[in-house]
Structure formats: C-alpha cells, structure tokens
C-alpha cells in the first residue's frame, strides 16, 4: 500500500511545507511555502495569467542597486479586480525575505517542523 492510499489524495504532500532559503528550489506558484496551500490554489486567476507558471521563488525575488522586491510578471495588463488580487498576494509576501542557504522541506503537523512517526 502506498502512502497516498492511506489518507486520500496526496495527503503526505499536503503535510509538508517548503522553507525558503535562496528560493532556487521552490516553485513560487506550485509549492506550499508561506501557507499550507500553494499560491496556484489560493490565487488561481493570477496563476492562470502568470508569464511563467514554473518560476522559482528566487527568480521572482529581484535584487538591484535600489533594493529588493517581488517581480511578478503577467501575460497582459491586469484589470482592477485582478490588481486587488495582486495586492492580497503582496500582503502575504511582505514579511518574506529571500536569503542565503538552500531550500528545504518541513513537516507541518509537528511542533518544530520536524517529522516524527507519531505525528504521521
């Protein structure tokens, strides 16, 4: 029996979250890395309009002489209501700083984010 068969559709993957270091191994839209739900599910409209749906967090985080910011790109100019979605997304991103080190997986159910058999 596979892990996925025990608790339903993709239960094991839903219990993991990405901890971002440099963001080069974490998908911005497809991985759960700020909340337990990937942005592609939280913001499906923006995901549909994204220039690159397979972009990594470290590729969206832009650093230059002026400072650092999130450089989201979309296929077309956004309608007013879609810009409101971007504002909601930016609110979730406002405290995130992409730094050094590698990205890693963490186990959500356990305090301290460490996997134990008991928590599984």
pLDDT in tens, 54-75: 999 999 999 888 888 999 999 9
Among 35, 26, 45, 29, residue whose Cα is nearest residue 98? 26
pTM, to two decimals: 0.78
pLDDT in tens, 40-59: 999 999 999 999 999 999 99
User: 51-89 burial by CB neighbour count: b if 16+ within 10 A, else e?
Assistant: eeeebbbbebbeeeeeeeebebeeeeebeeebeebbeeb
- Cβ–Cβ under 8 Å, residues 70 and 90: yes
């Amino acid at each position: 029996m596979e892990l996925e068969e025990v608790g339903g559709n993709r239960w094991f993957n839903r219990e993991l979250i990405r901890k971002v270091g440099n963001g080069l191994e974490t998908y911005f839209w497809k991985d759960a890395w700020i909340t337990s739900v990937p942005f592609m599910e939280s913001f499906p409209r923006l995901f549909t309009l994204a220039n690159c749906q397979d972009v990594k967090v470290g590729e969206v985080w832009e650093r230059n002489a002026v400072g650092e910011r999130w450089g989201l790109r979309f296929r077309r100019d956004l309608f007013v209501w879609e810009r409101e979605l971007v504002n909601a997304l930016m609110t979730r991103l406002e405290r995130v700083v992409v730094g050094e080190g590698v990205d890693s997986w963490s186990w959500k159910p356990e305090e301290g984010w460490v996997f134990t058999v008991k928590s599984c």
